[in-house]
Structure 1
Amino acid sequence: MNKSSKVLALKYRPQNFFELIGQEVIAETIINSIKANKVPNAYLFTGIRGVGKTTIARIVAKSLNCINGIDKICKDDLCDNCDAITNSSHIDVLEMDAASKTGVDDVRDLIEFSRYGPSTSKYKIFIIDEVHMLSKQAFNALLKTLEEPPQYENGGGLKFIFATTEIKKIPITVVSRCQRFDLSRVKSGELFEFIKKIKDKEKGKISDDALRLIVKISEGSVRDALSLLDRALLSLDKDKELDLNSAQKIFGYFDKSQLIELFELILRGEEKKAIEIYRKIYEQGVEPKVFINDFLELVYYFKNINSLNIESTNFTLNDEEFSKIKKITNEVSDETLILFWQFTLKTLGELEIVNNQNLSIEMFLIRLMYLKSSANKEYLPLSKNKIDQFKKQDDKQIIVNEKKNETISQVKNISQEQEVKIENNKEIKAEEKLNVNSFDQLLKICNEKKEIKLKYELEKNVNLVHFENNRIEISFNDNLDKNFIKDLSLKLFEWTGDRWIITLSKSKGDLSINDKQKNKKIKDINSAKQSELYKNLIEKFPDADLIDVNSKEEND
């Protein structure tokens, strides 16, 4: 293939360690091992797509078999070995795609082929790409050869070079026989300079902001960046520069200033304007999942903007956007941003199960506004495990209020609060009001009112910490019903005509009624076993066991 007709990812593929970007430490380690003649039996390269796994595998093959040696390795004028490896035509360097050859028979043919020494080079090398695709039997067949590869008369040997994106799918017995290298994502600044040089070589007119967008979308993958650059160059008019706005339309991305404006409108509760901006973004061809991921990223910047600088945002934000976020962040609490983050993650999962994702995003934005109205700075969010236990339903929200140091949270449901406001307007008859002065009295009233579920929760899953007029402080176990606090608050208001505060405490509190009864039963049984009656009974019936004790009062 004519070099000028190749795609950029192949045309500018590094041919030696000096052209490689982003993996300098790995390159230096491999070069040093070859110079010291301490070459491992097998290399294992792992990392995300497009960071240079297969490229480094070929460079290692060249470094081992270059006629000029590692100190004078070919750069421009390639020797016969380096030229053949570059073109994938070297007789001693075999490249295999494990995705298409996964069986044990393919590996056996490979091992059989390894019995014969190299023809024109020092090392016989097997490069296996996507090695995690091999079957379990194929991996087992490799083990012995990996640990003790054959040695040849010329002093060389057999070397394996594996590449994979799924390191966890490779058996640990194979990984332990390899020298493993984890390739990192290429840093944004380095990738930007790399594609900018290529753009200049290709004589393309693309603005730096458009190149930064390419870097962002590629997520540290050099191949992805070059593929996007290729697409951008093909979209250019001859005498027109590709600017950021044009690049956003080509790649389906939108101006972040729109998202920041949308975020600001959500904080102000301006529903109509916020939906209008989102619809404009959607009309630009932005997928709902892309939008929600960018929204998550923006929430992160709002939360951490004071600890970041413009360079650390990986070209996501320009100077103007960075300054605007920094200004707005002073007007929003950390608690609100954390709630936004959790709610956005939940919505991201919901997108997988809805047919019209666009409508789901609009409802998500509206729900955020209502969430914001509940998350003032005087409130603090529940911890994650308590959010799971008191999960809000679609038509409800949870407000939590930090009390004193001895309590964790005060939980109050909005729907409950609304019902309370309605009931406050109605006069409760005096004869219907009840006095609840103790925990035991509360249990008694639950029994009288046939509130069996509420009584069950109070006895089994609640530990009393403190009880006083119109305030109950409790701790609880993992079995407590998620609607318990709402149900108890409503019933107490219904019975007493007063609003009660239910608080969750850090203290363990008293044992639950159920636990107290269990302990009493154990104590009574142990006491009864010390009696003469029990001892005489055991003498006559050795297999007998005492399982319960009833007092005379209970029998009566």
Structure 2
Amino acid sequence: MNNNSKVLALKYRPQTFDDLIGQEVVSETIKNSIKANKVPNAYLFTGIRGIGKTTIARIVAKSLNCLNSYKNFCNKNFCENCEAIANSSHIDVLEMDAASKTGVDDVRDLIEFSRYGPTSSKYKIFIIDEVHMLSKQAFNALLKTLEEPPEYLKFIFATTEIKKIPITVVSRCQRFDLSRIKSNELFEFIKKIKEKENGKATDDALKLIVKISEGSVRDALSLLDRALISLENGKELDLNAAQKIFGYFDKSQLIELFDQIFQGNETKVIESYRKIYNQGVEPKIFINDFLEILYYFKNINSLTLESTNFSLNDIEFNRIKEISNKIDDEVLILFWQFTIRTLGELDIVSNQHLSIEMFLMRLIHLNGFVPTKDIKDDELKKNGIKSDKNFSPLNIQNKETVNQIKSVTQEKKIKPQSQIEPKITNEIIIESFNELLQICKIKKEIKLKYQLEKNVNLVKFENGRIEISFNDNLDKDFVKELSAKLLEWTNQRWIISFSKSEGNISIRDKEIVLQKRLIENAKKSDFYKSVLKYFSDAELIDVKSTKKDDE
């Protein structure tokens, strides 16, 4: 095949240790072991796709069988052995794909073949790619030969799934974990390839290729090949063209989308998303990019422009920094949780596009219920709540939506606060048992509220002291948890004592008694009796009172 007709990933495949990028430590270790004549029975290379596992396996095979010996490995002018190994035609170097030869019979044939020494080189070498695909029986058949092979026999394994290989096999190999290629190294590499191919591409377009490839050299070269082929002769690949080719979009659009979400502008948010969607961006790609930008919003103050790995330019970096200073970290953490959940939902909905739109609207409404850094104490006072150092904004639902135009639906859904409202100053003041329950509700202490309602009978309540009786279902850590929370909320220690008096029945029991009474009274009504005339087997199971609770 003409070298010019090869795809770039094959055309520029490294042939020597010096050609490798990003794996300097691995290269030096292997070269030193060969020079010291301490060659292991088996090498095991593991890492993500496209970072050089099979390539290094072939280079190791060349180094072991090079006719120029270890002191002067072939570099440009290959010897007969190195040339044959590079062309996969050497009689003593057998490459096997474990994905297509997984059975124990294949391994037995391999072992049988290994009994014969090399014909024209120092070592007989078996390169097994995707070795994790071998069956359990095949691995077991290989164990003994792997542990004590003949001196002339060497194994080289490559895998992307190291956890699927039995530990008994891994322990018999010299393992090398290949790392992802750093963005700067990969960028410089594909820039050189572009120049060798006389291609025209801007640095921003190449940086996008680096980002999409996620540290894989093969992916980066394949993307570069695709981009250069898709352009007309003499035309330069710029960022906009690259985004269209690879289905990616300008990150500044996503940053402005975030800003509109924080402002609560529902119309502009949907318009911005549809504009992105019309560029051919798939919903899952959108969500993953959304998560990435969300990460930058949360951690922008601890990052530098260089550490974003070409994901952001200087304008985008500064814009995120500007917007993030107005947003509370807790809002961003909630956004992250909702986004992760939506990513899972995309697999079960038929129209992912509509699901994304609903997701964005949920974020707008969610943002409206969580105070941001701009909210002052007097704004919280309007809702009957004054915050203290322990009062988390995630535990408060405002009656008024902040920094957002509320829809009619939102107005209907927000319920007025309870008649029983705790007095909250710098320390929360709790003056009654009902106020204690209300604080538990505000603070999201659901378990504590449940224990107080169902398993506790109140005997006496006064400032700093609660006297109770309880049933057998009370949690053993109840007193310790309640004491800790009261100290946290009120900044004073409370005495919780047990009484021999039964005290008032629990709130839950009160509700049960009241419900029974309502049902009994309803059964005496003329309406219920008239119902039984027509439906003799009717049974009254629930009654809802229209009267207020205190009546």
Length-normalised TM-score, structure 2: 0.73
Q: Which residue of 2 aligns with 1:252?
A: 247
Deviation at 1:49, TM superposition (A): 0.3
Deviation at 1:377, TM superposition (A): 3.5
Q: 1:231-250, aligned counterparts within 5 Å?
A: 231-250=226-245
Q: CA RMSD in A?
A: 3.8
Q: 1:2-151, aligned counterparts within 5 Å?
A: 2-151=2-151
State how far apart, in whole Å, the 2-side matches of 1:136 and 1:59 are: 29
Identity of aligned residues (%): 73
Structure 1 contact 410–504 (Cα < 8 Å) conserved: no
State how far apart, in whole Å, the 2-side matches of 1:376 and 1:404 are: 15
- Please state whether the residue corresponding to 1:180 is helix, strand or coil: strand
Count how many residue pairs are aligned between Structure 1 and Structure 2. 444
Structure 1 contact 408–506 (Cα < 8 Å) conserved: no
CA, structure 1 residues 41+272, in 2 after alignment: closer, same or farther (shift >3 Å)?
Answer: same
Tell me, yes or no, if structure 1 residue 330 matches structure 2 residue 325: yes
Tell me, yes or no, if structure 1 residue 343 matches structure 2 residue 342: no
Q: 1:418-497, aligned counterparts within 5 Å?
A: 420-421=415-416, 437-438=432-433, 457-458=451-452
Q: Which residue of 2 aligns with 1:388?
A: none
State how far apart, in whole Å, the 1-side matches of 2:26 and 2:494 are: 57
- Please state whether the residue corresponding to 2:275 is helix, strand or coil: helix
Deviation at 1:401, TM superposition (A): 9.4
State how far apart, in whole Å, the 1-side matches of 2:85 and 2:495 are: 76
CA, structure 1 residues 69+135, in 2 after alignment: closer, same or farther (shift >3 Å)?
Answer: same
CA, structure 1 residues 467+36, in 2 after alignment: closer, same or farther (shift >3 Å)?
Answer: farther
Structure 1 contact 401–410 (Cα < 8 Å) conserved: no
Q: 1:196-275, aligned counterparts within 5 Å?
A: 196-275=191-270
Deviation at 1:298, TM superposition (A): 0.3
Corresponding letter in the other structure for 2:8:
L
Deviation at 1:456, TM superposition (A): 7.2
Corresponding letter in the other structure for 2:350:
N
Corresponding letter in the other structure for 1:259:
L
Structure 1 contact 463–508 (Cα < 8 Å) conserved: no
Q: Which residue of 1 aligns with 2:163?
A: 168
Structure 2 contact 326–374 (Cα < 8 Å) conserved: no
Q: Which residue of 2 aligns with 1:304?
A: 299
Structure 1 contact 44–161 (Cα < 8 Å) conserved: yes
Structure 1 contact 265–273 (Cα < 8 Å) conserved: yes
Q: Which stretches in structure 1 are left out of the alignment for 5+ residues?
A: 152-156, 381-399, 425-435, 443-452, 473-478, 481-500, 518-556
Tell me, yes or no, if structure 1 residue 375 matches structure 2 residue 370: yes
- Please state whether the residue corresponding to 1:421 is helix, strand or coil: coil
Structure 1 contact 409–505 (Cα < 8 Å) conserved: no
Q: Which residue of 1 aligns with 2:535?
A: none
State how far apart, in whole Å, the 1-side matches of 2:48 and 2:288 are: 19
- Please state whether the residue corresponding to 1:331 is helix, strand or coil: coil
Deviation at 1:70, TM superposition (A): 2.1
State how far apart, in whole Å, the 2-side matches of 1:463 and 1:54 are: 72
Q: Which stretches in structure 2 are left out of the alignment for 5+ residues?
A: 376-384, 400-410, 420-430, 438-446, 467-472, 475-485, 503-551
Deviation at 1:454, TM superposition (A): 12
Structure 1 contact 48–185 (Cα < 8 Å) conserved: yes
Deviation at 1:274, TM superposition (A): 1.1
CA, structure 1 residues 338+508, in 2 after alignment: closer, same or farther (shift >3 Å)?
Answer: farther
Q: Which residue of 2 aligns with 1:356?
A: 351
Structure 1 contact 408–504 (Cα < 8 Å) conserved: no
Deviation at 1:114, TM superposition (A): 0.5
Structure 1 contact 57–127 (Cα < 8 Å) conserved: yes
Structure 2 contact 371–393 (Cα < 8 Å) conserved: no
Deviation at 1:346, TM superposition (A): 1.3
Q: Which residue of 2 aligns with 1:365?
A: 360
Deviation at 1:354, TM superposition (A): 1.0
Structure 2 contact 370–394 (Cα < 8 Å) conserved: no
State how far apart, in whole Å, the 1-side matches of 2:262 and 2:57 are: 51
CA, structure 1 residues 59+509, in 2 after alignment: closer, same or farther (shift >3 Å)?
Answer: farther
- Please state whether the residue corresponding to 1:50 is helix, strand or coil: coil
State how far apart, in whole Å, the 2-side matches of 1:185 and 1:162 are: 19
Tell me, yes or no, if structure 1 residue 182 matches structure 2 residue 177: yes
CA, structure 1 residues 352+463, in 2 after alignment: closer, same or farther (shift >3 Å)?
Answer: farther
Deviation at 1:327, TM superposition (A): 1.5
Deviation at 1:421, TM superposition (A): 1.5
Deviation at 1:330, TM superposition (A): 1.3
Deviation at 1:224, TM superposition (A): 0.3
Q: Which residue of 2 aligns with 1:387?
A: none
Deviates more, 1:316-325 or 1:11-20: 316-325
CA, structure 1 residues 34+512, in 2 after alignment: closer, same or farther (shift >3 Å)?
Answer: farther
- Please state whether the residue corresponding to 1:77 is helix, strand or coil: coil
CA, structure 1 residues 101+509, in 2 after alignment: closer, same or farther (shift >3 Å)?
Answer: farther
Structure 1 contact 64–123 (Cα < 8 Å) conserved: yes
CA, structure 1 residues 133+15, in 2 after alignment: closer, same or farther (shift >3 Å)?
Answer: same
- Please state whether the residue corresponding to 1:163 is helix, strand or coil: strand
Q: 1:384-403, aligned counterparts within 5 Å?
A: none
Q: Which residue of 1 aligns with 2:444?
A: none
Deviation at 1:130, TM superposition (A): 0.2
Q: 1:277 aligns with which of 272, 281, 297?
A: 272
Deviation at 1:328, TM superposition (A): 1.4
Corresponding letter in the other structure for 2:266:
E
State how far apart, in whole Å, the 2-side matches of 1:244 and 1:265 are: 25
CA, structure 1 residues 207+404, in 2 after alignment: closer, same or farther (shift >3 Å)?
Answer: closer
- Please state whether the residue corresponding to 1:161 is helix, strand or coil: strand
State how far apart, in whole Å, the 2-side matches of 1:104 and 1:505 are: 71
CA, structure 1 residues 410+273, in 2 after alignment: closer, same or farther (shift >3 Å)?
Answer: closer
State how far apart, in whole Å, the 2-side matches of 1:461 and 1:408 are: 28
Length-normalised TM-score, structure 1: 0.73
State how far apart, in whole Å, the 1-side matches of 2:145 and 2:454 are: 62
Structure 1 contact 296–344 (Cα < 8 Å) conserved: yes
- Please state whether the residue corresponding to 2:325 is helix, strand or coil: helix
- Please state whether the residue corresponding to 1:126 is helix, strand or coil: strand
State how far apart, in whole Å, the 1-side matches of 2:374 and 2:494 are: 25
CA, structure 1 residues 507+354, in 2 after alignment: closer, same or farther (shift >3 Å)?
Answer: farther
Deviation at 1:71, TM superposition (A): 2.1
State how far apart, in whole Å, the 2-side matches of 1:27 and 1:179 are: 13
Corresponding letter in the other structure for 2:341:
K
